[in-house]
Amino acid sequence: MVERSDIRVVRCGGSKVNLRPPIISTDSRFVLCASGDLVKVYSTRTEEWLHSLQGHTNQVTGIALNPANHLQVYSCSADGTVKLWDFIDGILIKTFIIGYPLFAIYVSEKHEGVLFLHVSMATDSKNECFQLVAVHPPKSAEQEVEAKEMSVVSSHISSNPSCTAFGRGGEYIAFARRLQLNVYFFRKQKTCSFSLKATDKKGAKNAFTCIACHPTDDCIATGHEDGKIRLWRNFIHKKEYTYSTQHWHHNAVNTLCFTPEGTHLLSGGIESVLVQWQYGAGNRKEFLPRLGGSILHISASSDGQLFCTSHSDNKITVIESSFKVCGVIQGLVKGDAVLTDLMIDPRSIALVLNGKPGHLQFYSLLRDKHLYNLDIVQQEYIYEAGLDQFEVVKAAFDIKGSWLATVEERGQKSSDLEFFLKLWAFDERTQSFVLNTTITAAHTDRIISMCFSSSEETTMLVTTAEDGQFKAWCQGADADTQQDQNFWSCDFVGSYHNLKPTNCSFSADSSLLAVSFQEVITIWSPETWEMLTTLCQPPGVIRDLCFGRLSCSKYLLGTTTRNLLCCWNLLTCALEWSSSVEVSKLQPDPLSENVAAFSYQSKHTDLFVFKPSEPRPLFTNKNVCSEKVHRAVFVPREEPLNNCDESSQWLNRSQLYFLTQNMDLLTFSTATEEDRMLSSSKQLVIDDSVAVTPFYLLLGKHRQQQQKLNTQSHPAADKPQQPQGSVTIKELLHTPAHVLPAASVLCSMFVNSLLISNTGVQQDPLREEMDSEKEEEDSEEEMEACDSQQELRVQGSVDEVTLKLSKAQERELKRVRKTDFSWMAGLIDSKP
């Protein structure tokens, strides 16, 4: 086997958990939510991510509990499939192929065996036409079933999935579109429609935004754009319908939800206040304010004890029925734009970027878990659309992680800009950052960039602003405020010909400071604050600036807006080399000499990794993604990889993460890394199998005895002979009985698997590998793979296994493990 070292772009973590309403399982133990192409399962008690249901190839767009079996869940995806899962064990039971991109799924207890799907009939892209279709999934033992039987319920529905709801045990379905409310009665096969005027006398906007039906009563609650909630009654007779209006929300009602008993109606909107209306009691309501971002979805558990709200800041809140928050599941907050750079907290190696309004979020990339939010602005956030509020726009850590500098800004749109520069000290006792200094008027105009000095002894902050000045800030330099000598104050103000500074950067030992002023780079000495030299390479304004590290620290790199990447040698103060590349982001690796440059050309982004000492790139990756990349960061690895291949060596010590304009967080992963991940996940599966089942008791005891015997007789026991048990048997024994295919089906496959097939030899070994890398989910595939692999094993010589590198050995062992048939002996022995 040859060590492959191709580097792939991988989407990593932090996908949205708030796209669709979360589901609480019937026993209130789990919360399920659609997140990217996974369905994630969280615990309601501990808020921990338990596992995820993997299998969809595109965004999961809807999940619904199977009304026939409360341990199963349907999920639909934009890849055109509906999958049925056992969510407790994370097993895929069935896949129904629909063929159209799906946008939502609805099920009802009354219509057992029928799935209602939200389908886009993309006849032409201009006017998207959404349809509600009923699908009868065929009953067959096959794993993948094509479901082509569709009947259209309605062909004109809103694109918003919360505008459709089943009413009163599934007797009718209500769906709203713009100003029209339609109710389809299944028994009569008839649609009633009610419409409202676009605006009334007072200028209220009447468009529907969401809908909810009372579970036992003939009542439909609708939310509107102006914040009104209407309760429709008596709509069975089209002429005599009535509605009552309730108004509390000052902006559009995003979501409505009845409690399962129908005693309360929950509503939420942009105000981030969960409102509980008492059903049938007029205006009596309770509030739960300040939950986070605006409320997007509300769902209630079937016993009515728990509510879940999902928020625009990628968060799910679990709320008890007594209106107390009992848990928060927080994902990576990605707003409309990341204003701060991507940063790494040197202490926790967590990714830091601005998250909730006015906060910095710390996100652990390793565990894909939100660590905590740091409140920077410390002001009450007003949930109102179109309000200009303080946002964290810049942040920087010093090299040890003991200081954090932030800039918050307000009024970017209007002329009067307000901003504060804040400095935060790390407090060892509370393990968090504490505000040390607030500088109200740091500059007279917006701060463009800032950086900390990179020396360990003295910390210094340099800020550059649009007022044409750059300032150096030091701790306790001001003589007037002698109180503690612990506050930050201005040490030096520099400018150059009244030009606007664009960037600043410290050299690796902070003996030099480079500040770029439009097209000119000035080099300063921070000790004496005298300007040492200027470097200039027109044309184009300097966009990015960085010093080389380690052995390349004599080089200064700069990129300009006019497609130029320049490298200066600071010993000779001359241009070493330059190259004509349009670089959108230049990112140096703090642990090595490497510098990554993202270049955007002809509608796709390329990545070049190079050392400043030579203009030839170490690594090139064409077409990384189709959008521009403006944010990137090198994350130090916990343990360095030992890739010997030249093209992937640059990823040995740190990993490169980058953020595209679509707010996708991507990274590069090497083959070795993936192998490691895969093996660790395999081990996890094996560890899982320790669960004590009757089968285990029966077989396990016997096996242990056998093992003892083995070890006594053969001290150097052959590894394949270890009674680990094959994956097949594990799957067989640990898959719950209700999800297994019929015993007759299994039996024939079993017997088949024991036979040595002739066809396996011809199979391409490379494909085998691909197969083995996948998660083994379905037993049939496994069976096929087994016999072919056994062939391989028979053919492969023993010395090949021993001579290979350790990775290769592992892989071989893994394969061998799968082809292990020792269980068979055990099974036969155990028979009386």
- 81: three-class secondary structure by DSSP: strand
Residue among 60 and 535 whose Cβ is closer to another protein: 535
User: Any contact of residue 382 with another protein (CB under 8 A)?
Assistant: yes
User: Any contact of residue 455 with another protein (CB under 8 A)?
Assistant: no
- 48: three-class secondary structure by DSSP: coil
Which one of 254-262, 529-537, 692-700, 739-747 is the stretch in contact with another protein (CB under 8 A)?
529-537
- Residue 576's CB is within 10 A of a number of other CB atoms, namely 19
Q: How far is CA 760 from CA 431, 757, 781, 831, in A?
A: 58, 6, 13, 31
User: Any contact of residue 573 with another protein (CB under 8 A)?
Assistant: yes
Among the listed residues 155, 234, 244, 378, the single contact to another protein using CB under 8 A? 378
- Inter-residue contact 618 to 611 (CB < 8 Å): yes
User: Any contact of residue 480 with another protein (CB under 8 A)?
Assistant: yes
Q: Beta 91-97 vs 144-146: how paired, if at all?
A: parallel
Which one of 293-301, 385-393, 695-703, 773-781 is the stretch in contact with another protein (CB under 8 A)?
385-393
Residues 486-525 that bind another protein (CB under 8 A): 487, 507-509, 511-512, 523, 525
Among the listed residues 6, 380, 457, 638, the single contact to another protein using CB under 8 A? 380
Q: Where are the beta strands (DSSP E) in 109-189?
A: 115-120, 130-135, 144-146, 150-157, 164-167, 172-177, 180-185
Q: Pick left, alpha or beta for residue 11 (phi over 0 → left; psi -120 to 50 → alpha; otherwise beta).
A: beta
User: Any contact of residue 483 with another protein (CB under 8 A)?
Assistant: yes
Place of tokens 């390793």: 366
Give the whole-angstrom CA distance, residue 231 versus residue 212.
10
Among 102, 17, 90, 16, residue whose Cα is nearest residue 55: 90
- Inter-residue contact 488 to 423 (CB < 8 Å): yes
Which one of 2-10, 218-226, 386-394, 620-628 is the stretch in contact with another protein (CB under 8 A)?
386-394
- Residue 447's CB is within 10 A of a number of other CB atoms, namely 22
Among the listed residues 57, 263, 379, 626, the single contact to another protein using CB under 8 A? 379
Among 514, 534, 518, 544, residue whose Cα is nearest residue 526: 514
Residue 754 gets which letter from DSSP? H
Give the 3-state secondary structure of 9-47: EEECCCCCCCCCCCEECCCCCEEEEEECCEEEEEECCCC
Residue among 515 and 583 whose Cβ is closer to another protein: 515
Binding characters for another protein, 242-281, by CB under 8 A (x = yes): ----------------------------------------
CB of 570 to another protein, least distance (A): 5
CB of 430 to another protein, least distance (A): 18
Place of tokens 């140096």: 588
CA angle 51, 53, 56 (to 5 degrees): 150
User: Any contact of residue 412 with another protein (CB under 8 A)?
Assistant: no
Among the listed residues 135, 211, 213, 291, the single contact to another protein using CB under 8 A? 291
CB of 482 to another protein, least distance (A): 6
Among the listed residues 112, 142, 320, 384, the single contact to another protein using CB under 8 A? 384
Residue among 571 and 690 whose Cβ is closer to another protein: 571
Residue 396 has φ and ψ, to the nearest 5°, of -150, 140
- Inter-residue contact 557 to 565 (CB < 8 Å): yes
Which one of 231-239, 460-468, 526-534, 628-636 is the stretch in contact with another protein (CB under 8 A)?
526-534
Give the whole-angstrom CA distance, residue 135 versus residue 151.
7
Residue among 47 and 627 whose Cβ is closer to another protein: 47
- Strand partners of residue 311: 295, 315
User: Any contact of residue 329 with another protein (CB under 8 A)?
Assistant: no
Among the listed residues 571, 690, 691, 798, the single contact to another protein using CB under 8 A? 571
Which one of 187-195, 567-575, 658-666, 767-775 is the stretch in contact with another protein (CB under 8 A)?
567-575
Question: Dmax over Cα atoms in the chain, in whole Å?
Answer: 97
- Give the number of residues in contact with another protein, rule: CB under 8 A: 41
User: Any contact of residue 481 with another protein (CB under 8 A)?
Assistant: yes
Residues 772-791 that bind another protein (CB under 8 A): none
Give the whole-angstrom CA distance, residue 535 versus residue 522.
6
User: Any contact of residue 321 with another protein (CB under 8 A)?
Assistant: no
User: Any contact of residue 751 with another protein (CB under 8 A)?
Assistant: no
- List the structure tokens of 58: 């595109």
Residue among 242 and 414 whose Cβ is closer to another protein: 414
Residue among 241 and 487 whose Cβ is closer to another protein: 487
Among the listed residues 140, 189, 387, 748, the single contact to another protein using CB under 8 A? 387
Which one of 164-172, 436-444, 455-463, 465-473 is the stretch in contact with another protein (CB under 8 A)?
436-444
Place of tokens 């509605």: 243
User: Any contact of residue 416 with another protein (CB under 8 A)?
Assistant: yes
Q: Which run of H or E residues covers position 688? A: helix 671-688
Residue among 325 and 338 whose Cβ is closer to another protein: 325
Q: Which residues bind another protein (CB under 8 A)?
A: 288-291, 325, 378-380, 382, 384, 387-390, 410, 416, 438, 440-441, 480-483, 487, 507-509, 511-512, 523, 525, 530-533, 553-554, 570-573
